[in-house]
């Protein structure tokens, strides 16, 4: 990962109803911080827009062409951007702990990742669960958080042949990224473990506990603890569904 920020942000049209503010063409913490800061400033400024989609290095702004124009929005955004020169302190970001049972049937690629780096499985688990990760963005499937960055000591390329089905809750590594599959989906990430937490629930508002800019850390748990948490989560969910 590099820190190649553009000299100034690029404003790019996206069809007749959106625009993109791009800060970099690579993955970098600096660019992602810019995205978060601008996203929050736009929300605070109560601009006439429909929705914001923060991603690794750019912010998509969807607007209604009947309410505003592209030029008007770019003008307002550039004005707003000037006031954000100093990286504002990122306040009130959530910190969320994700319990994970590593290896075995829950993490079928843990052995490969360990072998790839000439480490023991325990060392991989320790390296993965001993740092905090930033939620760079949510995408791919509903509720999938792209987290970064893992230690170079465990960064591993994707599988050569993606799996057709990765179970819900699977925690994976792809290069220096780590992520969690909120529902069963096809995927090529190296799966090293699984969380019993439910990361996407369309009955809830918002549907996922994580958002771009949040901080996540992983906690190694046993299979028994996994089952206990899974049971609790299910009971909670079914109670909530009944009460609705």
Interface with other proteins by CB under 8 A: which residues?
12-18, 20, 22, 25-27, 50-58, 60, 62, 65-66, 69-70, 137-144, 146, 183, 200, 202-203, 205-208, 211-212
CB 218, min distance to other proteins, A: 20
CB 60, min distance to other proteins, A: 4
Q: Which residue lies nearer to other proteins by CB, 22 or 124?
A: 22
- Which DSSP symbol is given to 231? H
Gyration radius of the chain's alpha carbons:
20
Q: Which residue lies nearer to other proteins by CB, 112 or 140?
A: 140
CB 140, min distance to other proteins, A: 6
CB 80, min distance to other proteins, A: 19
Q: Which residue lies nearer to other proteins by CB, 123 or 233?
A: 233
Q: Which residue lies nearer to other proteins by CB, 59 or 110?
A: 59
Nearest in space to 114 (alpha carbons), one of 173, 196, 160, 170 = 173
Q: Are 134 and 147 within 8 A, CB to CB? A: yes
Phi, psi of 194 (to 5 degrees): -145, 140
Distance CA 13, CA 46 (A): 21
Distance CA 121, CA 11 (A): 45
In 15-90, DSSP assigns E strands to: 18-24, 51-54, 58-62
Q: Which residue lies nearer to other proteins by CB, 69 or 239?
A: 69
Distance CA 6, CA 22 (A): 8
CB 136, min distance to other proteins, A: 10
């Amino acid at each position: 990962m590099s820190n190649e920020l553009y000299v100034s942000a690029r404003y790019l049209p996206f069809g007749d109803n959106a625009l993109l503010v791009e800060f970099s063409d690579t993955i970098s913490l600096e660019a992602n911080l810019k995205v978060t800061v601008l996203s929050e400033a736009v929300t605070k400024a109560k601009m006439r827009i429909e929705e914001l989609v923060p991603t690794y290095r750019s912010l998509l702004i969807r607007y209604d062409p009947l309410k505003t124009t592209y030029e008007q929005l770019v003008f307002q955004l550039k004005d707003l951007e000037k006031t954000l020169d100093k990286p504002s302190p990122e306040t009130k970001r959530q910190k969320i702990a994700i319990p994970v049972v590593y290896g075995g049937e829950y993490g079928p690629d843990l052995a490969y990742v360990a072998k790839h780096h000439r480490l023991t499985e325990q060392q991989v688990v320790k390296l993965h669960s001993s740092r905090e990760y930033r939620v760079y963005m949510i995408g791919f499937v509903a509720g999938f958080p792209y987290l970064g960055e893992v230690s170079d000591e465990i960064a591993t390329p994707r599988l050569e042949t993606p799996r057709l089905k990765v179970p819900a809750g699977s925690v994976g590594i792809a290069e220096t990224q780590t992520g969690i599959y909120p529902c069963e989906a096809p995927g090529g990430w190296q799966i090293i473990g699984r969380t019993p937490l439910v990361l996407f629930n369309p009955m809830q508002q918002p549907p996922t506990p994580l958002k771009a800019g949040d901080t996540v850390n992983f906690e190694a748990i046993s299979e028994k603890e996994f089952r206990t948490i899974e049971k609790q989560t299910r009971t909670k969910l079914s109670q909530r569904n009944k009460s609705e």
